[in-house]
């Protein structure tokens, strides 16, 4: 299977709002598996369809140590958040940059499976943070939006410069990113 191209900030396509998935078919499962492969190859722990320029409410996640417990979230929606925490985040769409972001340590959310059946779930810790980060992507928001305008602008300029020079950090040179 081939990997998909990940968009990089400040690409305006990352600001698109993903559309609800209404067709649950083999094509959706194929897309989810391509996204998962792309995430693994890119050393990520989460990837939203918007990051690969697909306007669907689809997320793939794997926060397991052995990278063998993937989650597929279709039309995910958080309905309860508790216990704010601050943690350092990175992003596959903002390669090589990390900063502190405030999120919730405990969440309750619902998500559909590949047959379109919705179910309620709970998550905590890294998984909860990752889900919040990826749902932000589905809503056109990036972790850099939690930073000051000055920091965000500096990151955008640095990424544009590195990209123009063909020097964006390679996948093997960066730690895991959401």
Half-sphere exposure of 20 (CA within 13 A, CB side): 6
Catalytic residue among 27, 80, 88, 134: 134
Asked about 115 being catalytic, the answer comes back as: no
DSSP string, 102-143: EEEEEEEEEEE-TTS-EEEEEEEHHHHHHHHHHHHHHTT--G
- List residues with catalytic annotation: 134
């Amino acid at each position: 299977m081939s990997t998909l191209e990940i968009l990089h900030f400040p690409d305006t396509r990352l600001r698109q709002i993903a559309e609800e998935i209404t067709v649950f078919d083999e094509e959706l499962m194929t897309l989810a598996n391509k996204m998962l492969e792309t995430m693994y190859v890119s050393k990520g722990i989460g990837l939203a369809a918007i990051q690969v320029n697909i306007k669907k409410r689809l997320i793939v996640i794997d926060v397991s140590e052995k990278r063998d417990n993937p989650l597929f979230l279709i039309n995910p929606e958080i309905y309860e958040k508790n216990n704010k925490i601050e943690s350092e985040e990175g992003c596959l769409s903002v390669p090589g940059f990390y900063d502190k972001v405030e999120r919730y340590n405990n969440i309750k959310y619902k998500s559909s499976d590949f047959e379109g059946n919705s179910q309620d779930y709970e998550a905590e810790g890294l998984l909860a943070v990752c889900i919040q980060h990826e749902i932000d992507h589905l809503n056109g928001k990036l972790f850099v939006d939690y930073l000051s305008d000055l920091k965000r602008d500096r990151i955008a300029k640095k990424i544009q410069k590195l990209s123009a020079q063909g020097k964006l950090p390679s996948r093997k040179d960066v730690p895991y990113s959401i």
